């Protein structure tokens, strides 16, 4: 696929993602205005994750999963079950790395249901006692029956009191709404069925073992997107958190317990590994939309309709289009002169040199992790690329390419020549300011510099 094909496919799937988020928001809240504004915000926050990668497809699948879960709990229609079963099959075959996350999104709903059960334990105990007493009535004399019936009546009265108290607590909840949804039982069955969908792939048990193996290795400690998120370095994430905190602390808006679980869990995952920020944005936009709609319901019930009327008249449409275009131009203008590929990060000219001056069929090239995928795109065989799992012993027994790359790039090798001989390197390409580049340039008797530009160097072993 050429660069124009990559552009078009990325724009297409990004557009599908935005439309899917918007329509899901509308379906869940019946509010076009807040859905539109929050969707624009979500796509803006996801801008760094919108790329020609499998994750763009999985974002769409996760949005659909949340929609199907919500609609199934609301209606119990079987068509949503079909969607919930198809999605994990697609994940297992398209992007196996995120397969476990499909099941994580069920947990907040299950958590709310189990909290409801725990809060009604006394009611369940009373039901059990009443059932046992009814069994006793069948085999006792008249006097005992009177006593048993009195006990049953007392227990029934107690159960009514507990149910009424629970109902009042739900209706008068200060901040957290806990709702028992009996459709959760059917959802659990769907979840158990979906647990088996990971076998519907030619990869065997990989969907179930991939995450464990990844966590056991050292790749997650050395790849940027797997590192913990720091609030100071991510202003937009911090602002999003503040919006949730302000709404929950300074307004009389209630949040569903399942939404609170979802927010809390995704925030923790995001702090643990920054790549989960994308999932926080996707799930969080639906929760934020519900909260905002609750605020309007509480403080200005007709507010959204008034805004919608103004936005859909001629002046409102023109204003909206101008605002969207202005935001687009502000974001696009700094990049208008950018090349398709950033030559500071990727060896564009160095790759041209390799293709024109070296026999790529007979060289063994050392390269660095970040741009291995670009060299492959240009048809140049590589030492390592961004598919870190392929180069670790957790996935390929006896393969330590990722660890060896880290040691070579940081000059943490006792005998560099032995390491080079291990992989039979004939040529080496690296960033101009890398530690290894400085080391090689200090040993011209062993390494001849063939090429240099503002960002990269190429050496040949003598």
How does pLDDT run across 40-61, given as a tens digit for each residue?
999 989 988 888 788 899 999 9
Residue 336 is predicted with a pLDDT of 64
Residue 97 is predicted with a pLDDT of 87
Q: Is the pLDDT of residue 1 over 60?
A: no
b/e 189-213 (16+ beta carbons within 10 angstroms → b): ebbeebeebbeebebeebbbebeee
What CA–CA distance (Å, rounded) separates 270 from 251? 26
What CA–CA distance (Å, rounded) separates 180 from 109? 10
Reduce the DSSP state of residue 108 to 3 states and report it.
helix
Residue-averaged pLDDT of the chain: 87
What percentage of the chain carries pLDDT values higher than 70? Answer: 95
Residue 260 is predicted with a pLDDT of 94
How does pLDDT run across 84-98, given as a tens digit for each residue?
999 999 999 999 889
Listed in sequence order, the DSSP H helices in 218-339 are 235-250, 257-272, 277-299, 303-311, 314-332
Cα–Cα distances in angstroms (integers) from residue 379 to residues 57, 355, 384, in the given order: 26, 9, 14
Residue 66 is predicted with a pLDDT of 97
**Structure-token pair, residue 8:** 């078009």
How does pLDDT run across 417-442, given as a tens digit for each residue?
999 999 999 999 999 999 999 999 99
Q: Which helix (H) or strand (E) holds 104?
A: helix 99-104
Residue 150 is predicted with a pLDDT of 79
Residue 337 is predicted with a pLDDT of 63
Residue 389 is predicted with a pLDDT of 81
Cα–Cα distances in angstroms (integers) from residue 361 to residues 284, 358, 377, 391, 448, in the given order: 49, 9, 15, 21, 20
How does pLDDT run across 360-396, given as a tens digit for each residue?
999 999 999 999 999 998 999 999 998 888 888 888 8
- First-residue to last-residue Cα distance in the chain: 37
What CA–CA distance (Å, rounded) separates 235 from 5? 33
* Predicted confidence band of residue 142 (pLDDT cuts 50, 70, 90): confident
Neighbours of 152 (CB within 10 A): 17
Sign of CA dihedral 251, 252, 258, 264: positive
């Amino acid at each position: 696929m050429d660069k124009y094909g990559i552009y078009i496919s990325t724009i297409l799937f990004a557009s599908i993602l935005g439309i899917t988020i918007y329509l899901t928001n509308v379906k869940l809240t019946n509010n076009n205005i807040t859905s539109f504004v929050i969707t624009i915000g979500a796509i803006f926050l996801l801008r760094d994750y919108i790329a020609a990668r499998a994750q763009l497809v999985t974002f769409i699948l996760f949005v659909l999963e949340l929609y199907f879960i919500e609609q199934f709990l609301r209606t119990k229609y079987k068509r949503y079950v079909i969607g919930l079963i198809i999605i994990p099959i697609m994940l297992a075959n398209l992007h196996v790395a995120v397969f476990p996350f499909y099941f994580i999104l069920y947990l907040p709903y299950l958590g709310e249901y189990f909290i409801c059960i725990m809060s009604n334990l006394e009611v369940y105990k009373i039901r059990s006692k009443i059932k046992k007493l009814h069994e006793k009535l069948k085999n006792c004399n008249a006097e005992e029956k009177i006593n048993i019936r009195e006990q049953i009546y007392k227990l029934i009265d107690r159960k009514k009191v507990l149910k009424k108290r629970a109902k009042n607590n739900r209706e008068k909840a200060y901040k957290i709404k806990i709702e028992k949804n009996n459709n959760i039982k059917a959802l659990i069955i769907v979840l158990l069925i979906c647990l088996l969908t990971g076998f519907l792939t030619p990869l065997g048990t990989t969907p179930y073992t991939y995450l464990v193996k990844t966590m056991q290795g050292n790749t997650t400690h050395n790849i940027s997107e797997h590192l913990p998120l720091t609030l100071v370095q991510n202003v937009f994430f911090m602002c999003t958190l503040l919006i949730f905190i302000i709404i929950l602390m300074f307004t009389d808006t209630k949040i569903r317990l399942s939404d609170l679980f979802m927010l809390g869990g995704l925030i923790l995952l995001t702090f643990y590994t920054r790549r989960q920020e994308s999932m926080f944005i996707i799930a969080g936009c639906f929760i934020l939309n519900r909260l905002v709609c609750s605020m309007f319901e509480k403080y200005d019930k007709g507010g959204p309709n008034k805004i919608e009327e103004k936005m859909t008249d001629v002046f409102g449409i023109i204003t909206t289009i101008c605002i969207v275009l202005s935001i687009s131009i502000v974001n696009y203008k700094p990049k208008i002169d950018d090349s398709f590929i950033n030559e500071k990060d990727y060896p564009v000219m160095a790759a041209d040199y390799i293709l024109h001056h070296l026999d790529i069929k007979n060289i063994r090239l050392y390269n660095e992790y970040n741009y291995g995928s670009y060299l492959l795109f240009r048809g140049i065989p590589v030492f390592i690329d961004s598919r870190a799992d392929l180069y670790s012993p957790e996935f390929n027994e006896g393969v330590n390419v990722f660890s060896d790359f880290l040691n070579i790039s940081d000059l943490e090798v006792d005998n560099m020549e032995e390491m080079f001989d291990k992989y039979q390197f004939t040529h080496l390409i690296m960033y101009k300011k890398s530690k290894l580049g400085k080391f090689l340039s200090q040993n011209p008797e062993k390494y001849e510099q063939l090429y240099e530009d503002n960002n990269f160097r190429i050496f040949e072993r003598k």
